[in-house]
Amino acid sequence: NAGVMQNPRHLVRRRGQEARLRCSPMKGHSHVYWYRQLPEEGLKFMVYLQKENIIDESGMPKERFSAEFPKEGPSILRIQQVVRGDSAAYFCASSPRGQPNRSGNTIYFGEGSWLTVV
Amino acid sequence: AQKITQTQPGMFVQEKEAVTLDCTYDTSDQSYGLFWYKQPSSGEMIFLIYQGSYDEQNATEGRYSLNFQKARKSANLVISASQLGDSAMYFCALGKYNNNDMRFGAGTRLTVKP
């Protein structure tokens, strides 16, 4: 069962380093979403991408954060010059192209990547 | 703008009893979907149940049912016959019908007592 795959599951970075989180969507899914979950908080939408396009990045911090979803390969969430406040769980999710289905066209989540900045 | 609210940070329920987790939402869209996800301590997000805004009947999936009251803009999750394995964080989410975006509530931590 090839679900949404995220790696690494756990990542430790020192302040000022770069963090790269990868997400491979479910087979056949061309929509990818990134969410951030801070300790004791809910999920916060960050960015929504389709292949080679950023559709909605209204939840992305203006600096240091970027995301891409190239034609080939996984989606990448990049955080430059990490700070302690970036420590969080980052969830990727994917969905099939736009059509409603019995399950409500829900999005499917990966298991998350936990970033710790020391 | 879409907004989703879960007012219960934590809930306790006795094993085998039913529990209701509250969720209210605000949206100007006519077509939308409401979702519930479970996040156990292991961290993954597990889809539980979906309700479309045009669905006339409340959604049910096994022990999960969604008490959808459109006029009140509420979509409460009911878990019947609680099990110890139900202890987890539960998130309500609101999505546009074409699923371009989803907004999540802050979550409710459910603890099932033996």
B51 and chain A in contact, CB less than 8 A? yes
What confidence score (pLDDT) does residue A98 get? 46
pLDDT score for A99: 39
**What is the average pLDDT score of chain B?**
90
Beta pairing partners, A13: A117
pLDDT at residue B44 in the model: 77
Residue among A36, A54, A107 with most chain B CBs within 10 A, to mutate: A107
How do residues A44-81 score in pLDDT, each as one tens digit? 889 989 888 998 898 899 999 999 999 999 999 999 99
Report the run of H or E that residue A114 belongs to, with start and end.
strand A113-117
Q: Are strands B19-21 and B74-79 parallel, antiparallel or unpaired?
A: antiparallel
- A vs B, Cβ pairs < 8 A, gives 67
Cross-strand bridge partners of residue B25 = B4
Chain A: closest CA distance from residue B39 (Å): 10
| CB atoms inside a 10 Å sphere around CB B113 | 11
Interface of A with B (CB under 8 A): 31, 33, 35, 41-45, 48, 55-56, 89, 91, 93, 95, 98, 100, 103-112, 114
Which residues of chain B make contact with A35, given a CB cutoff of 8 A?
A: 104
Lowest mean pLDDT among A6-10, A38-42, B97-101: B97-101
Residue A43 CA to residue B79 CA, distance in Å, equals 22
- The widest CA-to-CA distance across chain A, in whole angstroms, is 46
Q: Which of B33, B43, B106 sits opposite A112 (nearest CB)?
A: B43
Query: Which among B46, B99, B106 is the nearest to A98, CB-wise?
Result: B99
Cα separation, B90 vs B82, in Å, equals: 14
In percent, the amount of chain A with pLDDT more than 90 equals 58
Residue in chain B nearest A55 by alpha carbon: B100
Using CB atoms, pick whichever of A41, A45, A106 lies closest to residue B101: A45
B81: closest CA of chain A, how far (Å):
24
- The verdict on a CB contact (< 8 Å) between A98 and B91 is no
Q: Could you tell me the sign of the dihedral formed by the alpha carbons of A98, A104, A105, A109, in that order? A: positive
The pLDDT of residue A22 is 97
**Structure token digits, residue B110:** 């459910």
pLDDT digits over B1-46, tens only?
Answer: 678 999 999 999 999 999 999 999 999 888 888 889 998 887 778 8
Q: DSSP labels for A14-79?
A: -TT--EEEEEEPPTT--EEEEEEE-TTS-EEEEEEEETTEEEE-TTS-SSSEEEE--SSS-EEEEE
Residue A102 has pLDDT above 80, yes or no: no
Q: In this structure, are residues A46 and A31 in contact, taking their beta carbons and an 8 Å threshold?
A: no
Confidence of residue A95 (pLDDT cuts 50, 70, 90): confident
Question: Which whole number is the average pLDDT over A71-93?
Answer: 95
**Residues B34, B84 contacting (CB under 8 angstroms):** no
In the prediction, which pLDDT does A5 show?
93
Confidence (pLDDT) at A101 = 40
